[in-house]
Amino acid sequence: MNVKQSEELYKEACEHIVGGVNSPSRSFQGVGGGAPIFMERGEGAYFYDVDGNRYIDYLGAYGPIITGHAHPHITEAIKRSAEDGTLYGTPTRFENQFSKMLKGAIPSLEKVRFVNSGTEAVMTTIRVARAYTGRNKIIKFAGCYHGHSDLVLVAAGSGPSTLGSPDSAGVTQNIAEEVITVPFNDPKAFETAINKWGDQIAAVLVEPIVGNFGIVEPAPGFLERVHSLTHEAGALIIYDEVITAFRFTYGGAQNLLNLTPDMTAMGKIIGGGLPIGAYGGKTKIMESVAPLGPAYSAGTMSGNPASMRAGIACLEVLKEEGTYERLDFLGNKLEEGLVELIQKYNIPATVNRLKGALTLYFTTQPVTNYEEAESSDGQLFASFFKKMLHQGINLAPSKYEAWFITTAHVEKDIDETLIAAEHAFRELAEEI
């Protein structure tokens, strides 16, 4: 496969853009280095790069693109919005329309507020929880990603009941000490942390179905236990549904799990491919937000008409009958095919899947938490990743990222992907 133009563009990018990329997840550092592919155009399930190669895309822009690239209904909404003026700085009726749609789909959102990214949404829910409870600390779970604000760039301390340490240079020790990180799916560790810090905890922040160390579902009863211990301690539960909202059903993971958080953060899919974030929850908590309450939350771009109209259009597409059944059908076909090949070529790998999202880990043990996801063999993944890319299959360059199927994928795409995977596994088997 010729990727000469991508290589040249990457060289140029490195001269002007730090690291050549505008988000580190786009670099190929984790898969042995080299130039990332520069895409020229996306259409449905496909990408076309600057050298003219075609790819079946499973990156889905790290989640937002669930209806395929350039979906005509969303494109039309964005065009119309551009013609009407891109940014007003005044309220518009689209904000009302979209907030009603979100509330209709996710009943725990009694009141919502729009922001511009998942990072902003999570960051603000934490501020609101602190304002509401008058407490400072938060508990989060190892390996869950909540954006790039200081408070969530904190790693676990030396045990489940110890305070955190900075996970990025520039995050202060003081901030890290406000965060306790415990393993996902470990109710004992969570109980230990609550017993030690409970009366100082403002909120427990969790991806109810994890998307950030691959697709990992909560063990039966785990989240229920988290809910009851958190509420007994007088703290709030915040669901980070930035990846999961509208991913598995028309609504949040909370609809599937039949659980009700106090607040929810969203992003990605709800913007239909444009920048967006939103958070919401119980009215009495949300009334802490300015201009009604003392917790500040603002934004020049927040609730901008283009993002609102793209989001409305995206949800309209997702609401069509059979959407999630189709995603599940294709996800199942892909999973079954991969598992069959893993067995045929004796590859040390395992697949986690929920509906149209799956993760292939290069480990033989089941993956239920971050430590197990971390044990996925990075070198095997890097080799698999490059073999797939060179056959026109675009995955995320990370050993435990999800593959996202869109409503634009068809069975033929899955068949083509499995043929590529068979080639990759056959070669990999010789390398092991």
Residue numbers of the site for ligand PMP (CB under 6 A)?
62, 117-119, 122, 145-147, 207, 211-212, 240, 242-243, 267
Residues identified as active-site: 145, 240, 268
Residue nearest ligand PMP by beta-carbon distance: 118
Which is closer to ligand PMP, CB of 59 or CB of 233?
59
Which is closer to ligand PMP, CB of 269 or CB of 312?
269
Which is closer to ligand PMP, CB of 198 or CB of 273?
273
Spatial contact of 134 and 294, defined as CB atoms under 8 Å apart: no
Count of other CB atoms within 10 angstroms of residue 390: 14
How far apart, in whole angstroms, are the C-alpha atoms of residue 398 and residue 8? 23
**Inter-axis angle of helices 305-319 and 72-83, nearest 10:** 160
Shortest gap between Cβ of 268 and ligand PMP (angstroms)? Answer: 6
Shortest gap between Cβ of 362 and ligand PMP (angstroms)? Answer: 22
Shortest gap between Cβ of 140 and ligand PMP (angstroms)? Answer: 11
How far apart, in whole angstroms, are the C-alpha atoms of residue 282 and residue 287? 9
Which is closer to ligand PMP, CB of 6 or CB of 244?
244
Which is closer to ligand PMP, CB of 118 or CB of 164?
118
Measuring CA to CA, which residue among 96, 123, 124 is closest to residue 297?
124
For residue 278 the two structure tokens come to 């939103």
Range list of β-strands (E), 120-246? 137-141, 154-155, 165-166, 179-182, 201-206, 236-240
Shortest gap between Cβ of 206 and ligand PMP (angstroms)? Answer: 10
Shortest gap between Cβ of 149 and ligand PMP (angstroms)? Answer: 9
How far apart, in whole angstroms, are the C-alpha atoms of residue 102 and residue 116? 16
For residue 348 the two structure tokens come to 């040390």
Question: To which residue do tokens 């693109």 refer?
Answer: 65
Q: What is the 3-state secondary structure (H, E, C) of 347-387?
A: CCCEEEEECCEEEEECCCCCCCCHHHHHCCCHHHHHHHHHH
For residue 294 the two structure tokens come to 């003392």
How far apart, in whole angstroms, are the C-alpha atoms of residue 100 and residue 110? 10
